[in-house]
Structure 1
């Protein structure tokens, strides 16, 4: 018990270091977005103030910030929807003020109407709040010198500047997609490594840990899909990023394979977790899973290193040609053979992700006739 206070202090220091490290990473990751926001706000202010003569273009500045934001979903369509919704909210607020004036109860009317209209434009509650804030500015601040609808013009300026910033000063979308891919494939690496260890050592806890890790992959798949969708949308309108569209299309193909990989692996991991519970070591299956893990690692590395395009395909081709239960586990029982059979469509999907035609990939598989587990498909069980 005498060691408890030092241990607690050590734990606090570790937590504090982790907290500051996470904060530092967030700050560094936000630098492109902060630069884009800053330049966009300066542009909005300058256009509204120096071109249109608005003395204090508060709406132009705040609406630009609200439209671009710091969220992952910064694709042009989302920016346009936000800009349009905020502008409509501002115009609606100004129209209501023009009709009923300003005051306490008028404040409530404007707030209610703005929130309802904003919800029609976006399902994101934060967007409705941002539009409501702009409406409150309209009600609470004195009318600008240019007239009541001057602020609506500021909202239009903010929306156009935000769209221009999305195209001309884009955040590096490939950085997010590559980071999301790395996170997903690192979990694949850990999960497949755990499954290989469990088969090699008959280690049931290792299989359960691998299964637990693989159950959390869907969130990572969804994150990568979101960032890739954003990147492709931005690349379609940005002159600076258009040349990266083939790279993003390659990522889309790999992502499709990674999504199927996550689904397959959850099913295979459940089967292996049951299989190793008998305490029998299965080195042949362990070697096969280790080889598969190597190929999946190479597939993930293609996202950042295009020179590795053929490396994973070579591994999967060699594995596909040997995926016959009679070769892998010649003396194995049905349970071992089923693992091999489950991997057949899995490897075909990985070959497709590496760029091979689906039929050509299926043709690599050796025939498996009248096998009890040959009709099972990995996606037949719930994930």
Structure 2
């Protein structure tokens, strides 16, 4: 019980630290919107400036201006429809039901995110259930628009560091990639089909972290293109996007290798020569991972991959092996090409390095 509580606390602290920049950004946007509506426009209780600004930014990985704008527009439309309904139909049980229905429908049309309709509904409920403020029927609509504009400006003027989320997602994806390679090394060296089955299971569940990496990079690039404070990171982020695309392809080919290895090892026979080749792949992948922090590791990663490519002639690796053994060696070829491309090597050059078979 104590260990579980400690794990929960550690997880909560990690989330808090990781979300620190987002918290600062949300507070700045919400308070700026509130201050403008209250002190400049004279609105007495501009509650919706805070709720719309906070909901538009949120803690999501995708902080692209287009997503923030879409969220703010969706909530503003829900607010204005609620204002119209209240002024035309009044407030009662069936009116609340109608506004709830319309708000959910609009939210579902605007965004595919499952939690977005509830966010829109909260804004609509504030309009319907709280007393109308002084200043006219659409004061709260204006407050919502102010909150949305503040959120959009915050993505440009108070941006989150776009490299942090992308870096975390990249590390998660590459760590899993290395874990699959290590399992395959153990399985091939010992002829252990149970370990190869675990490697295959892990490879099959890898798409989530890889997609999260791509989404983080798309968001980071979108913000960096428009923010004067982050534009200097564009070359770095574009380089990482090329790496991510190559690693996405490498993951697909690694799944093929894992499936073939799992099928092959059902006979319980070890394949140490293939395990050695996969071991060199894992070494190169570790250097590739380290290049995120120190770019000097990138040439070393490429050299490690080049060295294993030149050794991957099936007749040399498994001279007395079966056709399936040699087929597994051949399955490493496209994987290696993708890893070489991840180091920045052009695909045509990487393919020319492959042994003729």
TM-score, reference length from structure 2: 0.95
Deviations 1:28-55 (A, max 9, x none): 1121111111111110110000111111
Deviations 1:344-374 (A, max 9, x none): 1211121122111111111111211xxxxxx
Q: CA deviation at 1:332?
A: 2.0
Tell me the alpha carbon deviations over residues 169-198 of structure 1, each in whole angstroms, 9 at most, x when there is no partner: 122221111111111111111211111122
CA shift for structure 1 position 105: 2.7
Aligned with residue 120 of structure 1, among 109, 112, 115: 109
1:52 aligns with 2:32: no
1:207 is aligned, of 196, 205, 228, to 196
Q: CA offset at residue 206 of structure 1?
A: 2.0
Query: Please, which of 345, 363, 370 is the counterpart of residue 352 of structure 2?
Result: 363
> Is the aligned partner of 1:318 residue 2:292?
no
Q: Does 1:156 align with 2:161?
A: no
Match of 1:290 in 2: 279
Partner of 1:37: 26
2:187 corresponds to = 198
Aligned length: 357
Segments of 4+ moved more than 3 angstroms: none
Q: Deviations over 1:209-256 (max 9, x none)?
A: 222222221111111111111111111111111111111111111111
Mapped pair 1:72 → 2:61: yes
Which one of 223, 229, 234 corresponds to residue 212 of structure 2? 223
Q: Secondary structure at the match of 2:159?
A: coil
CA distance in 1, matches of 2:268, 2:56: 58
Q: CA–CA distance in 2 between the matches of 1:207 and 1:318?
A: 25
Q: Secondary structure at the match of 2:312?
A: coil
Computed over aligned residues only, the root mean square deviation of the Cα atoms, in angstroms, reads: 1.5
1:260 corresponds in structure 2 to: 249
- Could you tell me whether the CA contact under 8 Å between 1:344 and 1:365 is conserved in 2? yes
**CA–CA separation in structure 2 for the residues paired with 1:274 and 1:20:** 42
With normalisation by structure 1, the TM-score equals 0.89
Q: Which moved more, 1:114-123 or 1:61-70?
A: 114-123
Could you tell me which runs of 5 or more consecutive residues in structure 1 were left unpaired when the two chains were aligned: 1-11, 369-383
Cα distance in 2 between the residues matched to 1:276 and 1:110: 61
Matched residues in 1 for 2:278 and 2:101: separation? 59
Secondary structure at the aligned position of 1:36 is classed as helix
The alignment partner of 1:304 has SS state of coil
SS at match of 1:330: coil
Residue matched to 1:170: 159
Pair 1:270-2:259 in alignment: yes
Query: Which residue is equivalent to 1:87?
Result: 76
Query: Secondary structure of the equivalent of 1:280?
Result: coil
Which one of 240, 246, 251 corresponds to residue 235 of structure 2? 246
